[in-house]
Chains A and B, each alone.
Chain A
């Protein structure tokens, strides 16, 4: 069982290395197959590990396996270790399963691209990095995985490197992630300092809960939690470190599906749940996480109402849904947070992939104003997109319904001012979700076909290759039934499963849960109706021009950051270049070179070639030596 976890971890790495080392000796198709198969092997390993783990008894589901000691310096030791417990096995399944489906889908989507091999190598690298992140047994290894997924994200966003927008987007993503990486690294350093050099999860949590180690004092634990939260916020594109996610849509659609919907952006949520003992010991930080989640889910939902790019709408939707997960993790509803992560992986990947089929079919057109009427032309894709939309809005019995309502009910169960505020925010978010999702659905699939659609729809052949349609089909099924692992009042195996690693704090009663569901579904339907009415009458949802402009500029965050950080940094670097680099550094280096040459020239003058000079020099030398010898006697 543990061996299968290791296989799961390293299989995609083997795939990536094989593709890299084989280079152009293998065909592009072969590279795609290698990547897909290794990811599915990883899924197999995860499945075996999961089954094995569930076969263990209740209290035994926490296994640490160490490969070897990676770093050792005096008393400080870091091992290459994986932690196999309920949380990590769930994440492994999600990453490798959904990842496998998306890589399979990429085979059709990326076919014909010149640099297909590079793409699949990067995809396998990403899957490996994400698996390392979720399987790591200590904070340092987690940080390694964290950084590697950031790298893979950069490489994949900027995959079409001849497009300047893509390159800029990749850089933006990387830099913003780096801010989070920095805070996380600082937090880990502080942790090492205060937790007597421990970095392993189990050891650190024991020290935190024990109460008599330095780490459990208020200041260090708060700082550590803040640092970890900073990393989570950056990686999960929550406010204020969110501006990179919409731009990241410059990458290929499968990349958006895998990295920026299903897995990488959810790493922040995973961290919040994994490090729950730390956050519970710093309750203010945990509340902050919930507040940030709530703010993000509202802001992102509102911005999504006016976007024209199909992928950007879905990206803002992702941001909003992760806000829900942060909200859940922030109030201690870890089970529902991970449950929503799971269902979100299904339906968001489904939405992206069906959008990808549309984009692929319409020759890379992404503006929804140029789409329309695709319902009859692409029936299967339409159905998949509809399923995804229903799941996203939270219509029963689709998966999103169970998870989102669980999150909301938990905040209701929390009670108090805080709980009620979050509850209301979540409900408003549900309304917004209905609005923007169905706006998108109607604009793309209903109405008169646009000119572009009419032009391209006469191709005759099907909606897309099998390799693209089959994974979409599988995800449609999962998005439909995937939520049935938690039916409040009937059975809740998933929540119990996650509770073994991170015990949920608020426990909603069945009544609270169903009441919440009723309100949420009602709001979702209101959104649906409003969107349909707006569409039918040809209006936009937001008409006031002032508000519309603000929303279209994404609340001017980009402009704000540009003025606050980018311009001053640019000015500082130019000034440094002019006043320090050139005069001091370059001149001094040049000076050393020129000085050496000059000195050499001076010294060379001793070699005059004149015999007599040499003879005189010898005579002087002898004179000096005589004195030395006589004095030495």
Chain B
């Protein structure tokens, strides 16, 4: 294979995953949280495809495609939730939405 080994791609994916995790845990706007979530999913996709190339097995790419579909679905629902929250004039702040406290 030309270019870097598969391992390099994996490192990139790992860093991307970490960045996304930080975003999910540290931001208060649900929109940004969703975007960070996308980052994490994409990092996973990159890992899958790297390993598909490494093993010569198309299953990884199929999996990545399914992940993409699921991510799209999840974003749709998530955005729907945010719109619903906005419609009810709720504050778009994850810390405020703590109705599930025990």
Contacts and interface: CB of A to CB of B under 8 A. Distances in A.
Q: How would you classify the secondary structure of chain B's contact residues: helix, strand, loop or mixed?
A: loop
Interface in B56-102: 94-95, 97-102
Nearest to B99: A609
A610 interface: yes
Contacts of B100: 607, 609
Given A610-B95, A610-B101, A611-B97, 19 more contacts: A606-B102, A607-B100, A607-B102, A608-B101, A608-B102, A609-B98, A609-B99, A609-B100, A610-B98, A611-B94, A611-B95, A611-B98, A612-B26, A612-B28, A612-B94, A612-B95, A615-B24, A615-B25, A619-B21
Contacts of B21: 619
B25 A604 contact: no
Nearest to B30: A611
A605 B101 CA distance: 8
Contacts of B101: 607-610
A399 to B, nearest CB: 86
A152 to B, nearest CB: 59
A615 to B, nearest CB: 5
Interface string B13-25: 0000000010011
A624 interface: no
Interface of B: 21, 24-26, 28, 94-95, 97-102
Nearest to B33: A611
Contacts of B24: 615
Contacts of A610: 94-95, 98, 101
A619 B25 contact: yes
Interface centre among A604, A606, A607, A612 (most CB of B within 10 A): A612
Interface in A592-633: 604-612, 615-616, 619
A195 to B, nearest CB: 66
Nearest to B22: A619
A616 B27 CA distance: 12
Contacts of A612: 25-26, 28, 94-95
Nearest to A608: B101
16 contacts: A605-B102, A606-B102, A607-B102, A608-B98, A609-B99, A609-B100, A609-B101, A609-B102, A610-B98, A612-B25, A612-B94, A612-B95, A615-B24, A615-B25, A616-B25, A619-B21
A619 B36 CA distance: 14
Contacts of B95: 610-612
Nearest to B18: A619
B98 A604 contact: no
Contacts of A616: 25
Nearest to B27: A612
A428 to B, nearest CB: 87
